[in-house]
Amino acid sequence: KNTIEMIEDMIQLDSPIADLKGFGPKSAEKFTKLDLYTVGDLLLYFPFRYEDFKSKSIFELMDGEKAVITGTVVTPANVQYYGFKRNRLSFKIKQGEAVIAISFFNQPYLVDKIEMGAEVAIFGKWDQKKSAVTGMKVLAQVEDDMQPVYHVAQGVSQAQLIKAIRAAFDSGALNLLEESLPQVLMDKYRLMGRQEAVRAMHFPKDLAEYKQALRRTKFEELFYFQMNLQVLKAENKSETNGLAIAYDEVKIKAKIAELPFPLTEAQQRSLSEILADMKSGAHMNRLLQGDVGSGKTVIASLAMYGAYTAGLQSALMVPTEILAEQHYQSLQGLFPELEVVLLTSGMKAADKKVALSKIESGEAQMIVGTHSLIQDAVTYHRLGLVITDEQHRFGVNQRRIFREKGDNPDVLMMTATPIPRTLAITAFGEMDVSIIDQMPAGRKPIITRWVKHEQLDTVLTWIKGELEKDAQVYFISPLIEESEALDLKNAVALHQELTDFFGDLATVALMHGRMKNDEKDQIMQDFKERKSQILVSTTVIEVGVNVPNATVMIIMDADRFGLSQLHQLRGRVGRGHKQSYCVLVANPKNDTGKKRMQAMCETTDGFVLAEEDLKMRGSGEIFGTRQSGIPEFQVADIVEDYNILEEARRVASQIVSDPNWRENPDWQVLGAHLRSQGEFD
Ligand code: ADP
Ligand code: MG
């Protein structure tokens, strides 16, 4: 072969896996399941943990720990068969003076590897009480080693993946991997080079080296994430094609004066921030955050009014029909002189047609609706402001469609989910955030109590007293994870019990996820009109639904819910002037459950609870990561690696704050690695 041919044969980072020695198109096909197509993909597919194959003394082990245990075989191996195809191989080993019973299930062929008097190394699970090990593997020799463990998929085994990754390393392609971090930053934070780090991520020499590799890889991941956000933010800010909304300040002030209450300081501050964004020619991309009942809706309504005074349409999009209806009524109440139009998918065709034509002609000055608002049939007339409520339920894509339906309207997102600072930085780094962190005056904090199931009778008796005082009560029925059918069964059973218990004293209504939207609407409406006094519901009870007369919230099996969800549920009460109560009925089985109950009793501050929740659970569970637009990281964890995230954010924003940063030779290397679009979905 001549030199040119040899160079052409060389494996590149973007060579298909099929080009690796020992692999062909057929075996390469399997890896596509893991989104692995090229040699470079393999190099950058990091293990999610390591198995520590350093052998341990039984005295170092904790009950249930998986480890390598070595010893001398002191009894012959014996296979016992029972049932169909099931069997157990057992023998004993001696480690020092200790005798350990070893069992392997359904691996009878291992019998050949066990010889009396031989030294063996068994990888398995330690059972302290029985001084026994359930074996998983017999190791060829005592390896003083860390073995990577990768996420795999059906049809791709650990062994196959490791073989492919080894082949990728053997091909020499690693040498082609370019450094992606600026030298200045590597020096500053004493970070390992990229090639060294990638190798050590897969096959570390020891724990210390692995930790260094991990630190570098996490930094790289979070830093690039932050760079993308900051670049996007800078572009948004400088966008001159945004709308400068020339609202009439005098009219807005007059509207505020008409409100039956003064705005809180936090509301005033948020409103000024929003109005300033609207006035500026830059594009508004703001999140309005505040606990349930903190008065976000009023502020959003005033912003919509501002758009109206500038001759522009505004639209408010909410996740459910009940909420759309509720907001529609409240906007009509606030602005009786305006044409407010409702648009939902549940509307009659004829009504919908009328609404659509009003929107198109511009007769509609404010629009409220569900997802229907982003459907093709809707044509807006000078749409200047878009507000979404409970934005985390909308995908990033949907937000974008909405944005594109107008002349690049300003966008405001409202959320009642208190988002801890940690997460806010991550998820909303490209957005500006206004926080209403203050409740309107005169609100009585909800009193929260935690009781055990055995005390439920006492609670029910107490509820009788509250009902006599005209109170209304929510019961949230137990949640069975992943089984809607069981949830329903529980709700129905609870409904029956309560109906029997309260008899003539109360009408007990039932609401659950299997019901159609208009059925749910009707039940909520009846509850609001006090046709029922007790409402049993699965968690379908919607965020934001307002029944000020409901003052008691009972949550069954409360330990099954996360703190943020409990807080949301509790927020259904405490909306009027009367004292409200929340009772958590739970016999938690573990510490986390107990801690949650205690935290709920100690504070009503959603932000404090959200921080706690994040610590107890990790971020992914709080938000459906995929749909929330919060990216998933390969190695970093936004809770655990918060410090790195913070530092990455600081550096990235410092770099981008120089408008000519791209010309700075220090940052040359960044350009190539930044994604051009900055979209995260
Ligand atoms: P959120 O949307 O944050 O849940 P809302 O805007 O619906 O809160 O407000 C909850 C209730 O509090 C509404 O009945 C609203 O009229 C009232 N409210 C809002 N702001 C104030 C305030 N500054 N003072 C007194 N009541 C207020
Ligand atoms: Mg603007």
Alpha carbon of residue 396 to chain centroid: 14
Distance CA 614, CA 598 (A): 16
Distance CA 297, CA 389 (A): 9
Q: Which atom of ligand 1 is nearest to the CA of 291?
A: 3
Can you spell out the DSSP letters for 34-76?
Answer: GT--BHHHHHT---SEEEE-SB--GGGPPTT-EEEEEEEE-S-
Distances, alpha carbon 446 to alpha carbons 119, 232, 443, 574, in Å: 65, 41, 9, 6
> Looking at ligand 1, which residue's alpha carbon is closest to its atom 9?
295
Q: CA nearest 546: which of 527, 562, 567?
A: 527
**pLDDT of res. 275:** 97
217 alpha carbon to ligand 1 midpoint, in Å? Answer: 46
> Looking at ligand 1, which residue's alpha carbon is closest to its atom 24?
440
Is residue 533 within 8 A of residue 473, CB to CB? The reply is yes
CA angle in degrees (0–180, nearest 5) for 191-193-196: 120
Of all helices (H) and strands (E), which one includes residue 5?
helix 3-9
> Looking at ligand 1, which residue's alpha carbon is closest to its atom 18?
295
Distance CA 291, CA 571 (A): 8
Q: Tokens representing 410?
A: 């300003």
| 475 CB neighbour count, 10 Å cutoff | 24
Sign of CA dihedral 25, 31, 37, 41: negative
> Looking at ligand 1, which residue's alpha carbon is closest to its atom 5?
295
472 alpha carbon to ligand 1 midpoint, in Å? Answer: 20
597 alpha carbon to ligand 1 midpoint, in Å? Answer: 27
* Per-run averaged pLDDT (10 residues), the chain, 681 residues: 70 92 91 92 90 76 86 91 86 91 91 87 89 83 68 87 94 93 96 96 86 95 87 72 87 96 96 95 86 90 97 91 88 96 92 96 96 85 89 54 72 81 66 86 89 93 95 86 65 92 93 82 89 88 74 92 85 87 92 90 87 69 45 76 87 91 89 54 30
Cβ 418 under 6 angstroms from ligand 1: no
Bridge partners (DSSP) of residue 582 are 448, 553
Q: CA nearest 597: which of 419, 453, 451?
A: 451
> Looking at ligand 1, which residue's alpha carbon is closest to its atom 19?
295
294 alpha carbon to ligand 1 midpoint, in Å? Answer: 6
**pLDDT of res. 239:** 61
Using CA atoms of 385, 386, 389, 395 in order, give the dihedral in degrees to the nearest 10: -150
Cβ 399 under 6 angstroms from ligand 1: no
**pLDDT of res. 678:** 37
Distances, alpha carbon 248 to alpha carbons 150, 315, 320, 330, 526, in Å: 59, 19, 32, 22, 40
Q: Which atom of ligand 1 is nearest to the CA of 544?
A: 4
Can you spell out the DSSP letters for 191-235?
Answer: PPPHHHHHHHHHS-SSHHHHHHHHHHHHHHHHHHHHHHHHHHHHH
Distances, alpha carbon 245 to alpha carbons 234, 284, 404, 407, 577, in Å: 20, 11, 17, 12, 37
Bridge partners (DSSP) of residue 16 are 38
| 10 CB neighbour count, 10 Å cutoff | 12
Q: Tokens representing 109?
A: 């062929």
Is residue 606 within 8 A of residue 569, CB to CB? The reply is no
Q: Beta 86-95 vs 66-73: how paired, if at all?
A: antiparallel
Is residue 583 within 8 A of residue 451, CB to CB? The reply is yes
Q: What is the DSSP letter of 161?
A: H
548 alpha carbon to ligand 1 midpoint, in Å? Answer: 11
For residue 509, give the amino acid letter. A
> Looking at ligand 1, which residue's alpha carbon is closest to its atom 26?
440
**pLDDT of res. 610:** 81
**pLDDT of res. 590:** 83
Is residue 399 within 8 A of residue 329, CB to CB? The reply is no
Cβ 261 under 6 angstroms from ligand 1: yes
Q: Which atom of ligand 1 is nearest to the CA of 298?
A: 6
**Sheet of 285-290, strands arranged across:** 340-343, 366-369, 313-317, 383-389, 410-415, 285-290, 432-436
Cβ 290 under 6 angstroms from ligand 1: yes
**pLDDT of res. 208:** 85
Residues less than 5 Å from ion ligand 2, measured at CB: 242-243, 278, 280, 284, 410
Distance CA 457, CA 99 (A): 54
If one residue of 297, 298, 387, 444 were mutated to test the ligand 1 pocket, choosing by the most ligand atoms within 8 A of its CB, it would be: 298
Cβ 387 under 6 angstroms from ligand 1: no
- 106: region left, alpha or beta (phi > 0 left; psi from -120 to 50 alpha): left
Distance CA 442, CA 407 (A): 42
CA angle in degrees (0–180, nearest 5) for 626-632-638: 125
Alpha carbon of residue 281 to chain centroid: 33
Supply φ then ψ for residue 227, to 5 degrees.
Answer: -60, -45
Supply φ then ψ for residue 430, to 5 degrees.
Answer: -90, 0
Cβ 619 under 6 angstroms from ligand 1: no
**pLDDT of res. 546:** 78
293 alpha carbon to ligand 1 midpoint, in Å? Answer: 5
End-to-end Cα separation, the chain, in angstroms: 46
Distance CA 78, CA 240 (A): 79
Burial code (b: 16+ CB inside 10 Å, e: under 16) for 301-330 equals: bbbbbbbbbbebbbbbbbbbbbbbbbbbeb
Distances, alpha carbon 550 to alpha carbons 467, 472, 474, in Å: 10, 4, 7
Q: Tokens representing 343?
A: 């648009």
Q: Looking at the CA of 389, which ligand is closest?
A: 1
Residue 218 CB contacts under 8 Å (≥ 6 apart), including other chains: 635, 636, 641, 644
Cβ 577 under 6 angstroms from ligand 1: no
Cβ 294 under 6 angstroms from ligand 1: yes
Q: Which atom of ligand 1 is nearest to the CA of 290?
A: 3
Cβ 334 under 6 angstroms from ligand 1: no
Distance CA 145, CA 44 (A): 21
234 alpha carbon to ligand 2 midpoint, in Å? Answer: 15
245 alpha carbon to ligand 2 midpoint, in Å? Answer: 6
